[in-house]
Structure 1
Amino acid sequence: MFMKTREPVVSGTFYAGTPGELRGQIEWCYKHELGPGVVPQVNNKGLREIVVLVVPHAGYIYSGPVAAHAYKELAEDGVVDTAVVLGPNHSGYGSPVSLWLGGAWETPLGKVRINEELAHSLLGGVIEADERAHIYEHSIEVQLPWLQYLYGELKLVPIAMLAQDIETAREVGKAISRCGDNIIVIASSDFTHYEPHSVATEKDKSMIETITNLDEEELYKRRELLNCFKDSLIVTLAFSDLIAIGI
């Protein structure tokens, strides 16, 4: 049985704990010298060409300005109906691929309803309905205020990844590629923790090249360059590759 509402677990730590402070913090990230420098406006007439975002999941004070670049691009791309958010399972609880199936997730900015029809359509194979992986996990939760700030109301399909093999990642990517809704797939993934800028830049360059080439085999080989999380990126590459060839 799934809880009706998942309450936030990192509100007040990873991001501000009140609506006003949280909105202000998000705007600070957008305007930061390492951010895009401007608070975006959603393009209501956008063509929605972006299918995948890769976004960090550290505390906003650390990675928020970097995340702001991704969400600025999404805002300018158009209006999103549903976000399928893939995050690492840091706790180790739950199934190898854990899907939260119903109800809503809450942040200081309100509740985000689960797209239950879409979530149920993804069940099967390696994807299991299992809330245990999500109860203490922050990697998906921290993406929600960004989406709420831009769109107000949208729906969510949260998937926590414990498995780290390429076959599982490809199966999840294939399942998501069959979704017909206006979705954005978000890979919640930190590339770097506590490394010199020059080292991080070199790693980022290598990983970005692999990602833009849609080469999940090479990404899997280079997975040790990433802090967290490898499989969510491979899922999105598999998904993007299938979308690109029209499957």
Structure 2
Amino acid sequence: MHNIRLPAVTGSFYPDQPEILKTMISDYLQRAASAEKAPQAIIVPHAGYIYSGEIAASAYARLQSKYCRIKRVVLLGPSHKVGFTGLALSHAEAFRTPLGDIPLDAEATASITHFPFVEYREQAHLLEHSLEVQLPFLQMTLDSFKLLPIVAGDCPAELIEELLELFYGQDETLIVISSDLSHFHDYQTAQRLDRQTSRVIEQLEYQLLDYDSACGRVPVSGLMALAQKKSLQIETIDLRNSGDTAGDKSHVVGYGAYVIN
């Protein structure tokens, strides 16, 4: 492979040494509860691992079910570096992490290029961390798989729901949505706001979700719209903030882990 998206935040958001990275993720996963059945979709945070890794592991540990047969991951996260409308694909053949290269799913990519709101935007992927930080967790919990990485700009939930519906329910496909919750409130305020946001997510009231509630509002709302349409349930399995992990409690960021079984 010649066209490889190189990691942008290794060494800052997570360790750049493979063995240290493996040990860190393994420790997080061992402390998380497993499940008999692997979820079909998850929502996970995307901060530095010392802040949100334990919360993300609460969802990823459920992929270790002996019944998990995931071969394709559809991964959506919000754009933090580039402003645009719609959803951004990458021409890369693979995404690299310290744990190796993950091949992109050309077939899955081709199946969504007809949507008018989907375009190739390499700049959206180049420095984006919301997708990248999920990759080592996926590599540690799944066998070989192909990736469909999508960076979300401004896009209505109903359009994302239409795209996700192409993939949801396929036995070998996992949908991963990347999002943090509230930002830079004090500890107690963040707890209150994030509990409210989790209720909104569980009740599938996607019209009520805003950027103050979740930086990944766009892809999260799309998954909520899909769940509403298909009468699915989104379950909160972990809800904490950086004040619970490695940060002080005066200015915290909220993190939640959610699953659709």
Q: Which bracket does the TM-score occupy, shorter chain normalised? A: 0.7 to 0.9
Q: Give the corresponding residue for 2:133.
A: 142
Q: Give the corresponding residue for 2:215.
A: 228
How much has 1:101 moved relative to structure 2? 4.4
Matched, 1:20 2:19: yes
Match of 2:158 among 170, 173, 180: 170
Unaligned stretches of 5+ residues in structure 1: none
> Which residue identity is paired with 2:146?
K
Q: Count residues in correspondence.
A: 228
Matched, 1:160 2:160: no
Instruction: Using the aligned pairs only, state the percent identity.
Output: 29
Unaligned stretches of 5+ residues in structure 2: 233-261
CA contact (8 A) 1:57 1:190 kept: yes
Matched, 1:60 2:39: no
Structure having the higher helix fraction is 1
Matched, 1:5 2:8: no
Trace 1:190-201 onto structure 2 (pairs within 5 A).
190-201=180-191
How much has 1:147 moved relative to structure 2? 0.5
Trace 1:85-100 onto structure 2 (pairs within 5 A).
85-92=75-82, 96-100=86-90
> Which residue identity is paired with 1:218?
L
TM-score (norm 2): 0.79
Q: Give the corresponding residue for 2:116.
A: 125
Matched, 1:238 2:228: no
**Which structure has the higher relative contact order (CA within 8 Å, separation 6+)?**
2
Q: How far apart, CA to CA, are the structure 2 residues paired with 1:198 and 1:78?
A: 37
Instruction: Compute the RMSD of aligned alpha carbons.
Output: 2.4
Decide whether aligned partners of structure 1 residues 240 and 99 sit closer, same or farther in structure 2, where only a CA change above 3 A counts: farther
Q: Give the corresponding residue for 2:237.
A: none
1:46-95 CA-to-partner distances (Å, cap 9, x unmatched) read 654x2321111000011111111111123236231111111111111565
CA contact (8 A) 2:164 2:223 kept: no
Q: Name segments (4+ residues, structure 1) moved above 4 Å.
A: none
Greater mean alpha carbon deviation, residues 171-180 or residues 138-147: 171-180
Decide whether aligned partners of structure 1 residues 227 and 175 sit closer, same or farther in structure 2, where only a CA change above 3 A counts: closer
